[in-house]
Structure 1
């Protein structure tokens, strides 16, 4: 599962004139493939990312890619305009973007930051979600 959050703390350190939407419950994306793209959709360009962060215009159309071997996950920036950042819960927000093309393993307490306010959290599905009830 990928949770797509509006993160006011991440927004506060970005230099953007765009207004930050209200933070609330995350959008939850069920991931059923071992490779998924994070980005903003574009019908005219045929871009349909599995993890849609389209509400945040600072997210590139093809921003990043998540890859799994069935047990572990990695994130890779796909040459985005505003970078992909990985931080750890309880630590200061990250300030160094990933090098485009660099694959970084994601640990349980890692958070992925993209765009002006978007935070991504990878997690296991709950029993109810696996049963199709969540």
Structure 2
């Protein structure tokens, strides 16, 4: 990627999204986010499946509301986009400070992610794409 910037995805358990979605599954305890270093230009977000040979780059396997092939993150090295891959429960994007989103992204249409945007998927998962801090990657 151009430049020396390393990017990470924070994977949060979001109690507000859980309350919004009202799934049957119990929410795990919310704590510090998981952190995934984003090393490729295109990354699959989803839940792994041994039998189907699906190994997502951003593993959200603890959330049963996340599809195996939920969404795709892509970058040109400077900007990021998210695209829903026909997930069962949709992919939602909202800016920090905005209310929780109600309208999912249209399948197959890339949406540019601005700094501070939150990506909501599944029953409780919130993703935040940002530049890595020193020592994180």
TM-score per shorter chain, which class? over 0.9
CA distance in 1: counterparts of 2:134 and 2:99, whole angstroms: 32
2:36 equivalent in structure 1 = 29
- Indicate which of 15, 34, 40 corresponds to 1:8: 15
- Other structure's SS at 1:22 match: coil
- Indicate which of 3, 17, 35 corresponds to 2:24: 17
1:121 equivalent in structure 2 = 128
Shift of 1:127: 1.8
- How does 1:19-98 map onto structure 2 within 5 Å? 19-98=26-105
Structure 1 runs of 4+ with >2 Å offset: none
Task: Give the alignment's TM-score, normalised by structure 2.
Answer: 0.93
Which blocks of at least 5 consecutive residues in structure 1 are unaligned?
A: none
CA distance in 1: counterparts of 2:134 and 2:29, whole angstroms: 29
Shift of 1:128: 1.6
- Other structure's SS at 2:16 match: helix
